Structure 1
Amino acid sequence: MTYRPAGHLRLTPVDEEAPRRAQRLRRLGLGERPDPEFDAFAQRLTQVTQAPYGMVNFIDEHRQFFAGLHTPTGTFTGTYPGGRSAGAEGGLPRFLARDHGYCPHVVVRRKALVLEDVCDYPRFAGNPVVDEIGIRSYLGAPLIDRTGTVLGTVCVADTRPRPWGRAGLDTIKAMAAELVDKIHRYEDGTPPAV
C-alpha cells in the first residue's frame, strides 16, 4: 500500500500487471467499446443478486471501462459501435478513473471482494463512488482467463448496505467463471452468447 504526499491512505493499489492486461485485452478486442451482450450479462447480474448496479468491467493501465453496464434506471452514458445510443443521459459513464470504485482492488488481489457496508472500512469508505454515486455495498469477482491474466471484474453494487453473505460470494464467483468461459469460446472462434 502506498501513501499520498498529503499523508492520506492511497485508495488504489499498485497494479504491476496492467501493461500485460492491456495487451491481452487488445488481443481479445475487449475494453474499448460497449457491447449489448455484456450489457445483457450485467443486467442478469442485477437480476440474480437483486442489486441495482451490475457491471462487466475491463481495466487497463489508465482507466476502467464498463463493456457491460446496468443501472437502476437502465440508463447510462455511451454508445454502441456504429453510434446507436446506449441509453439516456444521466446514468453512469462507461469509463471511470482507476482510483474510483473497488474493481481495481479485486484485480490486484486476484480474488473476490465482499463489502457489505463500505463505510465499515476506512480504506474503502473514502472512495469517490461513495459520494458521487452513493455506493454503500459492493460484490465483485475477477475475470481470470486461461493465460492467468486478470482481465477485469464482474460486480454488483447497491446504495444501501447489503448482507451478501456466502451465497452472494458463491454467485458472483460462478458468474465470473461463466463469463470467462464465454470469452474463451469467443477467442476460439465461437461468438459468446452472454
Structure 2
Amino acid sequence: MTGSLTGFDEWLNRLLEECARDAGEDVVSYVARAVGSQMVADLRRSGRGSVEELMAHLNECKVFAEAEMPSVEAEITDPARLQSLYATGLLDSPPEEAYDRITRAAAAALDAPSAAMSLIDVDRQFFKSAVGMGTSEEERQTPLDRSVCQYAVANGAALLLEDARTDPVFRNHPAVLDGTVVAYLGIPLIDREDNAVGTLCVFDDKPRLWGTGHVQILSDLAHLAAERMFGSGTSQ
C-alpha cells in the first residue's frame, strides 16, 4: 500500500492521502497507527490479552510516533503546589460519597462515559473519585506519564480536546495512543493561592464537541469540589 487502501473508492483514497498528509505521515504509517490504536482499544474492552504486551510490540515496530510530550515538570514539582496538595490529605484516601456525587453529576451532565477527580503528585496521578473506571487500589492511580490532567494542572486552565488523535501535541500522549482518551475536558482544582492540585475531568474514547455550556457546567462542579477540598474563598 503506497497511497491507497484496498476497498476504498477514489474519493476515499484521496481523502485518506490528505488526512495522512495533514497528520505529517504517509498513508502506510497513518493507517498502521489507526489500526494499532483500535487493536489496543478492542483488547482493553475484551480483556482477552495483555494491552501492555501489545503496546510493547507496537512500539518496537515503531507504529506509534516517538515524539515526546512537552515537559511540565517545573510546574508539577512546584513546592507551593505540592504543599497545597499534601495539605488536603486526600492522596491515597478512600472514596467519599461527597466527591463521588460530583463525578457522577459531571458524567451525567456532559453525557460522558468516564469522569474523574484526579490529584497530581510528583510521579503519579491519583483518582480520588472516578466513574466508568476500575475501582481497585491499583486502578485508582497511574504513572504520571499517562496523565492528561497534569497539563491542565500545569497551565491552571481548562483543557479541551475534541479529538486528541489529531492534536499536534496530544496525539503522542500514551493514553491517546492506546485509545483510552480521545476526547477530554478537564478543569483544574485551584486553591485560594492559585495552586492547582488536580482536576475534575470527563473523557471519552470517541471524539466529542465541547461547547461553552459544557465548560461552564464542569467548572461549576469543579468549584464545588474545590470548596470542599480547600474551604470557601477558592480562586475558581
Range into which the TM-score falls when normalised by the shorter chain = 0.7 to 0.9
Q: Using the TM superposition, give the Cα deviation of residue 12 of structure 1 relative to its aligned residue in structure 2, in angstroms.
A: 4.4
Contact preservation (8 Å) 1:11, 1:99: no
Rg larger in 1 or in 2?
Answer: 2
Q: Using the TM superposition, give the Cα deviation of residue 133 of structure 1 relative to its aligned residue in structure 2, in angstroms.
A: 4.8
In the alignment, does 2:218 pair up with 1:172? yes
Task: Determine which of 124, 133, 138 is the counterpart of 1:63.
Answer: 124
Query: What's 1:13 paired with?
Result: 72
1:118-157 to 2 correspondence within 5 Å?
118-157=164-203
Task: Give the secondary-structure state (helix, strand or coil) at the position aligned to 2:184.
Answer: strand
Query: What's 2:90 paired with?
Result: 30
Q: Using the TM superposition, give the Cα deviation of residue 54 of structure 1 relative to its aligned residue in structure 2, in angstroms.
A: 0.4
CA–CA distance in structure 1, aligned partners of residues 71 and 183 of structure 2? 17
CA RMSD after TM alignment: 2.3
AA paired with 1:25?
L
Normalized per residue, which structure has more helix? 2
Query: What's 2:55 paired with?
Result: none
In the alignment, does 2:89 pair up with 1:43? no
AA paired with 1:8?
A
Which segments of 5 or more consecutive residues in structure 1 lack a partner in the other structure? Answer: 1-6, 80-91, 187-194
AA paired with 2:186?
G
Q: State the identity as a percent.
A: 30
CA–CA distance in structure 2, aligned partners of residues 125 and 176 of structure 1? 26
Query: What's 1:189 paired with?
Result: none
Counterparts in 2 of 1:103 and 1:12: CA distance versus 1, 3 Å: farther
State TM-score, norm by structure 1: 0.76
Task: Determine which of 77, 82, 85 is the counterpart of 2:135.
Answer: 77
State TM-score, norm by structure 2: 0.64
Q: Give the count of matched residue pairs.
A: 166
Q: Using the TM superposition, give the Cα deviation of residue 94 of structure 1 relative to its aligned residue in structure 2, in angstroms.
A: 0.8
Which one has more relative contact order, counting CA pairs under 8 Å at least 6 apart?
1
CA–CA distance in structure 1, aligned partners of residues 206 and 184 of structure 2? 10
